[in-house]
Amino acid sequence: MSDKVKFEMEFPIQVSPNLLYQYISTPSGLSEWFADNVNSRGEIFTFIWEGSEEEAKLLTKKTDDRIKWRWLADEDTNYFFEMRIQVDEITKDVSLMITDYAEEDEVDEGKMLWENMVSDLKQILGSA
């Protein structure tokens, strides 16, 4: 298996950090834009897309700030995906920061997937 490449993205979103956090950290919020359905049992989240399921373990969570998971398929690796809320101290502009990993030849595809999902999130939040 080849090594995955880390990539980071920034998405400005005009919404309060508190509201944004609800959409990136709760099964009901994530079900609105990230996956068709999301369930959680303790630290294990099950993400469902068009009939396929992927499970991820919650690694860290800090209210109104960040949430980080590792796919169970990547359990023996250092790969993770993280959604972090960044607020500019001066302008108070809010951004959603994404950190993820993909195979080297799939980074562009991974970025496009995040762009599409965050676009859906912005529409739901009325920030499009």
At the top level of CATH, which class does the domain 4-125 belong to? alpha beta
Mean pLDDT for each 10-residue chunk of the chain (128 residues)?
89 96 97 96 95 95 96 92 97 96 96 96 89
For the chain, give every domain's residue range: 4-125
Q: Are 59 and 80 in contact (CB under 8 A)?
A: yes
What confidence score (pLDDT) does residue 23 get?
Answer: 97
Give the count of beta carbons closer than 10 Å to the beta carbon of residue 41. Answer: 8
What confidence score (pLDDT) does residue 128 get?
Answer: 63
What confidence score (pLDDT) does residue 57 get?
Answer: 97
From the list 88, 102, 24, 96, the residue with the least C-alpha distance to 61 is 24
What confidence score (pLDDT) does residue 86 get?
Answer: 97
What confidence score (pLDDT) does residue 51 get?
Answer: 82
